[in-house]
Structure formats: structure tokens, C-alpha cells
Structure 1
């Protein structure tokens, strides 16, 4: 955006970790040489720490570039992984054609890979960035990987790169076994003011600048803002070059840097001191509110769906059932209903015809009784066992008073009884007054004569 204004080939203060912009000051040269020696001599565990923005990632990228061709390298950018995900990522970055499902799926091929690399006289470097995110169980798995070694040489170099709090993690009692295996450690400190100025000039020269773009006062202001952290230096210098190009000034002054600081810094206002005149209002009280219970809390949409499915299955079964089964079911329901709920004015299905012994000799009466018994509907045995129905008593036409009874002499009544039923013998006295029992017998005999007539 502003490269052509300053005559640059590319932006000098990108936040990306470009190894070509690595400024090799005294600290960085010492760190790079120490770490390169640890990798090439197979020292095992290495550790590089520093605050955020001190250039750790840029330094290890330069290290990987320098050992290229002399070592197999794999970089884990984020170690916040599970055990098997970590094994899968390591095998993929080293180019191992394996599928990791168990620990043995990884250990055996990885051990062969380490031995083959040793035969080729190449080192194997495993870089773990952001090491402060490691969990204890994964740290133990990484420590056990260092056991893949020979009696005369280490086969795997593990390089931890993390912030300063990773040192505190290593000092925990559960991590002391890993801490004692670390052979080389290095900590990158922020730059001082002289190193900050040299850092700015180096990046500008690498980008193609042919004159001093930042004044001495501007670089001093940059150091006051960044405290010597390279990432903060890149942020404020990039913004200062953009604002200076907008106002067409090829040299950046302290005033422009101060204006950029106002746009980057966070303004945190201090809270006023609480006094008797500015006391906080107490929080409002919360009152109890009864819980609103639903009418059928157990009846959910799932229950409704299940009920609909059951009804659909039952309805389909009834619809597709055989016709004979439907008829049998209908007859059974009809018989049950007629048994317990007979129609008024008609005898129930269990009613049997009344046959009197006095008319059993009459052939015509027997024919009527047999026809009636054949036409009667028999109650199913299951219904008779559940609730047997009693026979219906005969209807009697009883006179209202004794005066309504027919008068007949004793010999005439006796002859009538003997004529209708020779087996019946009625003994009455002519002199006695008529007995009500004789009147009832007379009525019964009269009803028996009516069907025969």
C-alpha cells in the first residue's frame, strides 16, 4: 500500500514470521547457535522460552531452514490435543503412511523410522510450539517417546517452544521427570533501545530502503511504546509508515509515532474512590415466584408420537383383518351386549320356555315347546359361567277383590279339575266358603287351557 511511496520492494514490518527478516542480534545469534548444536548433536530435550512477541517462532523457523537436509523436522503448532490425535499429527508431519488407532500402531513404525534416519546419519527434530498448553498426560507420552533410543545415541530430539509460564509448569512435582531430561534451555529477552534501533534499520534495509525513514526521536518513541518486544515494534512502525505516506512525509517524526500510539493504546480509566456521597445502590431484592407446573408434564411430543404410532398399527390391524375374524368378533360383542343389556319388553337370550308338568302329555303342547326351545338362542358357555341369568317368572292376572272371583260349586270345580288333570286331586268341602287358594288354582288351570284352545 505504501511500498511505492518509500521505494520499497515489500512491507518491512509484517507480523508474519518471515525468516528473511530475522535480525541476528547478539542474543538471537547465541540462541540460534545453541539450539542448532543441540539438534545436530542429538541432545534430546531442548527448551526455548520468552515473553509474547519476542520472536520465538521466527527463530525456530530460521533453525528449521538451517538444518534442512540434515534432519527430519515436524512442527506441532498447537499441542492442545488428545494422545492419539498427537500421534496422528506426528506421523503425518513425518510422512509415515500409517493409520493410528492404538499406541502400538504408532510406536512400531515410528521406531523403525528413527532407526532408518540414524542409519542415514540424519537427526529427527520434533518441534512443539506453544508448549505452555501441554497437559500432564500428553507431557508424559512425549517423555516416553525419548525412550526410543540406542545405547550409543539419541534417536529423537524434542524441542519445546513456549512462554515463560512453561518454566513454572515444569517445576511442578508431577513434571519433575520431564524437567530433568531437558539438556539445553534458552530464554529470549526483549530488546534494549540500541537493539530496537538496529532492528528497525535492519528490516527497512531488507525491504529495500535506501535512506533513514525513521528519525532518531521516532525510534526512541517506538522503543518507549514497545518496551523492546519485536511484535509491538512491527505494529507501531507499520502504522506510522502508513500515516506518514498519507500526509506525504517521507521521513517519520516522533509526532507521527505519538499519534499512532494514541490509536493503538487501550485507555483504561480508573474507577472513582467510593465515598459516603457516592455509595453504590444495593442490588434489588429478588422475590420468590412459584414454579408454574404444567398440567401433564410427562406428556411430551415423543409420547404423542408413540401414541399415534400405536393407534395407527391397531387401526391397520383391524382394517386388514380377515372377514371371518371380524364376523366372529362382532357376534361375540353382540352376544355380550344382549346378555347384560336386554331390550325392554323382550326376553333375554338366556330365557328358557316354561313347560308345566300338567300339560306334558299333550302332544300339541310338546310340539309348541320343542319349536320354542329350538328357536331360543343359547347363551355362550363363557357368559353362563360369568353371570348365569335366571328364568323369567310367568305373568299372573290376579283379581283386584274377592268379589271378582268366579263362583262355582264345589262338585263342579272338582269335576273340572279332574277332567283337565286326572293326576291332580282337589279335596274341598261343599259346606265351607270358597278358599282363595282354590281361586288361584282355578286361574292357573284357565291359563293352561288357553294355549290348547
Structure 2
């Protein structure tokens, strides 16, 4: 609707992931490098995590678009699959007939298929999207599938893409064997303010925008504040901003125009009018005695509470996860000890009972 008004050839901010619009931020470049490195290694697992809307699927689609001729790829988006369901889905994605067949039969056919690829000088690649939905036993099934080998060379390689919840799953004590097969991992962070502007301009130019001054500087800043640099949120908001500009016949999209759209979105999505605590945070200078090291600016909420930076919270979360791992490990050891003690007491009871009967 607004494309012709702004001289565009296509919609620049579709929600459907499109490899043609792939924007390589710092973290997206790193993730893509890990995926390409993993392909070159032809073994092990590559794990890419990131919050909702940070572009994991777009990266996967971009990889598939440039895939090598000697790689046969399949992609699955996982609900909560059981191990048997996973095997069936993987086989089906590689176009094997699974109707009415047992798991053992499907595994035999899958192994034959992989060997056939290898004999043709090809190999199989499996991309598992939304991998955080997989139960532990299903992830373990993925590891078992990687055991298909010929002359010590794996016949199937898997890439796992998932939300941040995937990380503690893989850190579980009973996932040690899987972790040992991870050759690289990366977490996608949201875009910075500068990257957000570059992302918008890149997609606009890719859609045919000639680079005329369409956006005010303050508009970019407000877009970043509202979306927090999450690509999917940027796409949703930008699509509405361009539609608003078309309907209002705006030649320049200002901060006021962006705010008008944000207000509409808040009403439609039932987002509270009151900004979040983080949105209301203000920057203050910390006064220190002269001659001493001056710390960086701190963020304070209106209540005077200090907001730590992201690294603080990441470190704290990591410590909590490690502590949980230790607790689980101790619980397992305690359970094993109790089980051993009970077995010992049972054997003693059986022996005494036997002596008594005699």
C-alpha cells in the first residue's frame, strides 16, 4: 500500500524471515561464522541461542540459501517431540517414507539413506529450530543420530537454534556427553542503537529506497527505545510507521509520527501507557572526591534503585545456574548413596532371614 508512495519495490519489513534481507550485525556475523565453521568441520553440534525475534530463523534461512551442493539439508521447527516422534520427523524431512513403520525400521532406512549420500560424496545437515522445546531425552536422541558414521566420519550433522532457555537445558549434569560434541555456540543479542538505524536503512535500501532524508534522527532514537533493538519488533513497528506516513501523506517521518504509531500499538496490544521501570530510568553523574577514579554513569529508577548493566545480570544468572547444577548433582549423588545403602540393608536382611529359616 505504501510502497509506491515511498518509491519502494517491495515491503522492507515483512515478519516472515527472508534471507534476501539478512542484516549482519556484530552478533549475527559471529553466529553466521560459527555456522559456516561448523559446516567446514562436518561434525559436532553448533548451538545458536537468542531472545524471541533476534533473527535466529533468518540466519538459518540465509545459511540454507547459500548451502553447498554437496550438503543435503533439512529443517524442522520443534514442538515438544518425543524421541520416537523426532526420528520420524527427521526421516520425513529427508523425504523417507515413515507410514506404518516402527522406530527401528525408520532408523534402518535413515542409516541407509545417509550411507547412500556419503557414497555420492554428499552429507546430511539437520537444522533444529526452537530447540528449547525439546525434552532432554529427545535432545539425547539427536546425539544418538550423530553416531551414524562411516570410517569415523559422521553422516549427519545438526545445528540447534533456540531461545535462551536452551542454555540451562544443555547445562544439565546428564547432558555432559552432548556438551562434549558442541564445537561452537553463540548467543544473539539485540541490536544496538547504531545498528538499529543501520538495520532500518539497509532494509529500506534493499527494498528500493533511494536514500532521501525520510527519517528524522530523533525518530530512529525513539524506534530503538521502544523496540529495544529486537529485529522482529523493529519490523512490526516500521511497517506501521510507513503505513501511517502514507495515510497522513508525510514526506518526513518525525519523532512525533513515531510516537503516534507507538500510542496506537500500545492501545491495540494492551500495553500499559506507563513506561516500564527501565524506560523511566534516568542517567545521573556520580560525584566522587577529586583525584579518585570516576565510575561510569549509572542508571537510577524514579525510586532511586540502581539498574545494573546487562553483564551484571548475565554473571548473576550464570552463577545461579551453576549453583542449581551443583544442587542437582549433589541430589543425584545422595540418591545413589541411599539406593546403595538400601540394597546393602536388603541383602543383609535376606542373609539373616535365610540363616533364621535354616
Alignment TM-score, normalising by the size of structure 1: 0.57
Question: Could you say which residue in structure 1 is the equivalent of 2:110?
Answer: 110
The Cα of 1:68 is off from its aligned counterpart by: 4.7
Cα distance in 2, alignment partners of residues 11 and 147 from structure 1: 44
Question: Could you say which residue in structure 2 is the equivalent of 1:216?
Answer: 217
Large movers: runs of 4+ above 6 Å:
none
Question: Could you say which residue in structure 2 is the equivalent of 1:23?
Answer: 23
* 8 A contact 1:75–1:127 mirrored in 2: yes
Cα distance in 2, alignment partners of residues 257 and 4 from structure 1: 20
Tell me the SS of whatever aligns to 1:4: coil
Question: Could you say which residue in structure 1 is the equivalent of 2:43?
Answer: 43
Larger radius of gyration: 1
Question: Could you say which residue in structure 1 is the equivalent of 2:272?
Answer: 267
Cα distance in 2, alignment partners of residues 17 and 267 from structure 1: 29
Cα distance in 1, alignment partners of residues 273 and 4 from structure 2: 37
Alignment of 1:411-430 (within 5 A): none
Question: Could you say which residue in structure 1 is the equivalent of 2:242?
Answer: 241
Q: Deviations over 1:21-57 (max 9, x none)?
A: 1112333223212202212321221101011111110
Tell me the SS of whatever aligns to 2:143: helix
Cα distance in 1, alignment partners of residues 77 and 131 from structure 2: 9
Tell me the SS of whatever aligns to 2:46: strand
* 8 A contact 2:28–2:59 mirrored in 1: yes
Cα distance in 2, alignment partners of residues 121 and 184 from structure 1: 25
Alignment of 1:62-73 (within 5 A): 62-73=62-73
Tell me the SS of whatever aligns to 1:73: strand
* 8 A contact 2:12–2:207 mirrored in 1: yes
Cα distance in 2, alignment partners of residues 118 and 214 from structure 1: 53
* 8 A contact 2:136–2:169 mirrored in 1: no
Q: Does 1:188 align with 2:193?
A: no
Moved more, 101-110 or 47-56: 101-110
Q: Looking at both structures, which has the greater relative contact order when contacts are Cα pairs under 8 Å and sequence separation is at least 6?
A: 2
The Cα of 1:213 is off from its aligned counterpart by: 2.2
Alignment TM-score, normalising by the size of structure 2: 0.72
* 8 A contact 1:75–1:93 mirrored in 2: yes
The Cα of 1:250 is off from its aligned counterpart by: 2.1
Cα distance in 2, alignment partners of residues 100 and 214 from structure 1: 58
The Cα of 1:268 is off from its aligned counterpart by: 6.7
The Cα of 1:74 is off from its aligned counterpart by: 1.0
Question: Could you say which residue in structure 2 is the equivalent of 1:9?
Answer: 9
The Cα of 1:203 is off from its aligned counterpart by: 0.3
Q: Deviations over 1:214-246 (max 9, x none)?
A: 221111111111111111111111111111111
Cα distance in 1, alignment partners of residues 25 and 166 from structure 2: 25
The Cα of 1:269 is off from its aligned counterpart by: 6.9
* 8 A contact 1:100–1:106 mirrored in 2: no
Cα distance in 1, alignment partners of residues 179 and 89 from structure 2: 24
Q: Which has the higher strand share?
A: 2
Root mean square deviation of aligned Cα: 1.8
Tell me the SS of whatever aligns to 2:8: coil
Question: Could you say which residue in structure 1 is the equivalent of 2:338?
Answer: none
Q: Deviations over 1:274-326 (max 9, x none)?
A: xxxxxxxxxxxxxxxxxxxxxxxxxxxxxxxxxxxxxxxxxxxxxxxxxxxxx
What are structure 2's unaligned runs of at least 5 residues? Answer: 276-358
Aligned length: 270
